Amino acid sequence: MSHLYQVVELKKEATFQELSAWYYKSDKYAPDLAKFNRDNGGPVEAATGKLAAFQKVYFPDLDYFEKPQSPAAEVRPAANPRPMGKVYTAYEVFTGGESWLTIAHGRVDRADEIRSLNPNVVVNNQGVVPAGTLLKLPADAQGGVAPR
């Protein structure tokens, strides 16, 4: 039985604990996320305990971790894994925070699209996304990094 998963390309070094907290809003799935990636040809941590930038990390749907898995339902490593869900680029908000419009390079339509991909992100009174927030960007985002 296969499981749906999304693929995110890292823009900087990260740990599975950080990625679990960002994607699933809880770091408790970090060991399972690491195992899922190991078992399915995804990245593994380097000796530093971090994943290198520009690696693609597989994020299974949350129900994969929540439902008990029988041996027959385990996902088997594939020689050539192919994502079956949407692909997102990850983006970390710069120091000082940024507005949705800044993140979208001044394009209102893209700012709305990015905001809709990140419904749980809370902005401050000035409409600024806090520094260090990891955001999902559309798959066709160019470079995934706003100019400094």
Q: Pick 144 or 63 by higher pLDDT.
A: 63
Q: Which tens digit of pLDDT belongs to each residue from 111-133?
A: 999 999 899 888 888 889 998 88
Mean pLDDT for the chain? Answer: 78
Determine what percent of the chain is predicted with pLDDT higher than 70.
78
Beta bridge partners of 134: 92
Task: Confirm if 41 and 26 have CB atoms less than 8 A apart.
Answer: no
pLDDT of res. 17: 92
- Whether the per-residue pLDDT at 85 is higher than 90: the answer is no
In whole angstroms, what is the distance from residue 29 CA to residue 65 CA? 7
Question: Is the distance from CB of 128 to CB of 99 less than 8 angstroms?
Answer: yes
CA distance 18 to 4: 21
What pTM value is reported for the model?
Answer: 0.48
Could you report the per-residue pLDDT of 3-24, keeping only the tens digit for each? 667 888 888 889 999 999 988 8
pLDDT of residue 81: 53
> DSSP alpha helices (H): ranges in the chain?
16-23, 30-39, 62-66, 100-103, 108-117
The CA-to-CA distance between both ends of the chain, in Å, stands at 45
